[in-house]
Amino acid sequence: MAEQGTHLVLVGAMGAGKSTVGSALSDALGRPFVDADEVLSAETGQSVADMFAILGEPAFRALEVAVMADLLAVDEPAVVATGGGVVLDADTRAALRRQDTVWLRAEPATLARRVGSGAGRPLLDRDPAGTVERLAAERAPLYEDVATLILDVDGLSVAQVVRRILDAPVDPPGDAS
Ligand code: S3P
């Protein structure tokens, strides 16, 4: 997988490894890497935590939708790591269905271990393990809806995840056959 002309986009819950895998994938493919949360922070001059605290979650979501639309409209194919809540917006989901979108799926125990205390993730200020499990379960149908490829990442190294994505058969976006 890594079709020309579309972006390779990573979706999944907090702690799924989107940013780490995305960076390694971009090295492997020689494509630019963009992390949507980092772009958002650079554009607003605020961390994600500050955006939630100062602007509020609805404003953060509106900015997230705008940034995703901008990133996916770029012609040069990139590897894009998204924030875990990016699939909440219907227009973003429609745009993601036109990309090579990979759902990095992980068991609740894996997510809980990786997010740890939830530092830097405002939605995980309280009960990080329970919250990440609940959000992952609630959003699973949305990740599935946009995914060209679903990859179970539990127990896999970053290099193994990258290899499996690169080896996956290409399924052209929009090809219903
Ligand atoms: C969020 C995930 C975060 C970040 C924000 C909200 C979510 O990104 O966008 O804290 O709603 O799941 P990561 O998935 O990269 O942690």
Report the CATH number that the domain containing residue 117 is assigned in CATH.
3.40.50.300
What's the pLDDT tens digit per position in 27-56?
999 999 999 999 999 999 999 999 999 999
Question: Does any domain span residue 24?
Answer: yes
Distance 96 CA to ligand 1 centre (A): 17
Whether residue 96 is contained in a domain is answered as yes
Q: Ligand 1 centroid vs 37 CA: distance in angstroms?
A: 8
**pLDDT band for position 175 (50/70/90)?**
very low
Q: State yes or no: pLDDT of 2 exceeds 70.
A: no
Number of the ligand 1 atom closest to the C-alpha atom of 19: 15
Distance 84 CA to ligand 1 centre (A): 4
3 — pLDDT class (breaks 50, 70, 90): low
Cβ–Cβ under 8 Å, residues 135 and 118? no
Q: What is the pTM of this model?
A: 0.94
Distance from C-alpha of 156 to C-alpha of 134, rounded to nearest angstrom: 23
How many whole angstroms separate alpha carbon 138 and alpha carbon 43?
Answer: 29
| pLDDT score recorded for residue 169 | 78
Atom of ligand 1 nearest to the CA of 135: 12
Residue-range definition of the domain harbouring residue 134:
8-167
Q: Model confidence over 92-118: pLDDT tens digits?
A: 999 999 999 999 999 999 999 999 999
- Flag whether 177 is in a domain: no
pLDDT band at 170 (very low <50, low <70, confident <90, very high): low
Residue 174, domain member (yes or no): no
- Residue 172 located in a structural domain: no
Residue 18 Cα: closest atom of ligand 1: 15
